[in-house]
Amino acid sequence: MSPARGGLAPAGSAGRRLDEVVAELAGVSRAAAARWVADGRVLVDGRPRPKSHRLHGGEGLAWEPPPEPAAGPPAGEPLPLAVRWEDEHLLVVAKPAGVVVHPAPGHPAGTLVNALLGRASRAAGEVAGSGLSAAGGSDRPGIVHRLDKDTSGLLVVAKDDATHLALARELAAHRVERAYLALAQGHLAAATGTVDAPVGRHPRDRKRMAVVASGRRAVTHWRVEERLRAADLVEARLETGRTHQIRVHLAHLRHPVAGDRTYGADPALAARLGLGRPFLHAWRLAFRHPATGQQVTVTDPLPAELAAVLDRLRRGG
C-alpha cells in the first residue's frame, strides 16, 4: 500500500477547492484527487471533507494514495468454481468465504477472477480470449459487483460488454435484488427496519468504513428471520452497495455481525459458536436479464460452517 503523505496547505490555497490543491501537492490529476477525496483518503486537519471544500490556507492536509494495481493481467487458474446459473450472456457463481474477488496487492492469485479465467480457458480449449466482459477493466474481467473476502454467496458475472453495462445500470438504479443472511449479535428492537446512514472511510482507521456525514448515501433494509438465544438471524437487503455496508450498518445499530471483530463483534461469542469469520452470506440474487428481459432469481443455501453455527444456537449454544 502506498504510504500516507501530506503537509500544510500553502497560504496561496486560500479560497481554492480541496481536490484542486491536493492534485497539485500530490502531483496527480484533479480527477484522481477527487476520487481520493470521495473514497475518504484525504483529511483536512484530521477530518474528511468534500472535494468542493474551500481551504483557508495553513490547514494540515493528509492523503493516502490507493494501492497500486496488480501487475499485469490476471491469469487463469484451475480452481474450483460453483456455478449456480448460466447462459451465453452471464453466469451467477457462489463465492466461498476466504476468496478475494479480483487480484490486488497482497492477493495476486487464487482469486475468483483467476478461477473464472481458468474455467473460460478450459471451455474454449485455449488461453486466448477470456470469454468474459472487459468493461470492468483488464484486472477484473466480468466482475459487475463484489463481495468482501470473508463474505460468501452469490455474484453475477458478465460474459460480454453489453451485458456488463446493462447490469451495471440496473445496479445503479437499485433494480437488482441482493439479499443476505446475517447473524446480528443480541436482539434488534423491532422485527423490521431500514438503516439510511452514509458510509465512508473511518476518519482514523483507513482500513475500516464507518457511518460518517461525509460518506456516500447507504441504505440497508433488514428483517428478523429468527430470534435465537444470543443473536438474531436477519435478512438484509441492499438498496445501495457501499463497501462493508451491511457490516457497518448493523454495527451502527449496536448489533454487529457475529464473528466480525473489525466492527466490534464479541470474540467470546464467536469462539463459543465455532465461528471463524463474519456470519454474512449473500443468499439471493434477482434481476432482469439484460438480453431476454426475463426475471432471473438465484438462491444459495448457507454454507456448512454457517449452518452448523445456527444449529448450535438452536440447540441452546
**Which cell numbers in the block locate residue 83?**
456455478
Q: What percent of the chain has pLDDT over 90?
A: 68
Indicate which residue of 45, 87, 139, 148 is catalytic. 148
Mean pLDDT value across residues 291-298: 97
Residues in the chain, how many? 317
**Which cell numbers in the block locate residue 40?**
475518504
Q: Does residue 129 have a pLDDT over 50?
A: no
- Angle of helix 18-26 relative to helix 30-38, nearest 10 degrees? 120
**Which cell numbers in the block locate residue 73?**
493481467
pLDDT of residue 74: 84
- Computed on alpha carbons and rounded to an integer, the radius of gyration of the chain in Å comes to 21
- Measure the CA–CA gap between 200 and 42, rounded to whole angstroms: 12
Global pTM reads 0.78
Average pLDDT of every residue of the chain: 90
- Measure the CA–CA gap between 105 and 144, rounded to whole angstroms: 20
Burial group, residue 192, by CB count within 10 angstroms (0-12, 13-18, 19+)? exposed
pLDDT of residue 127: 36
- Measure the CA–CA gap between 288 and 96, rounded to whole angstroms: 25
Q: Taking the domain 177-297+310-314, which CATH number applies?
A: 3.30.2350.10
Higher pLDDT, 80 or 191: 191
pLDDT of residue 6: 82
Same topology between domain 5-63 and domain 82-172: no
State the CB neighbour count (10 A cutoff) for residue 295.
10
82-172: CATH homologous superfamily?
Answer: Pseudouridine synthase (3.30.2350.10)
Q: Does residue 66 have a pLDDT over 90?
A: no
Q: Where are the chain's structural domains?
A: 5-63, 82-172, 177-297+310-314
At the topology level, CATH places domain 5-63 in: 3.10.290
Mean pLDDT value across residues 173-182: 96
| The residue to which cell 476520487 is assigned | 35
Strands (E), the chain: 5-8, 42-44, 47-48, 60-63, 82-86, 90-95, 152-158, 177-185, 192-196, 199-201, 209-211, 219-227, 231-238, 280-288, 295-299
- Measure the CA–CA gap between 100 and 113, rounded to whole angstroms: 9
Question: pLDDT of 41-63, one tens digit each?
Answer: 999 999 999 999 999 999 999 99
Higher pLDDT, 204 or 100: 100
Q: What percent of the chain has pLDDT over 70?
A: 93
Q: Does residue 107 have a pLDDT over 90?
A: no
Confidence of residue 3 (pLDDT cuts 50, 70, 90): low
pLDDT of residue 93: 97
19 φ/ψ angles, rounded to the nearest 5 degrees = -65, -35
| The residue to which cell 451465453 is assigned | 88
Q: Does residue 136 have a pLDDT over 90?
A: no
pLDDT of residue 71: 59
pLDDT of residue 134: 83
Mean pLDDT value across residues 137-154: 91
Is 148 assigned a catalytic role? yes
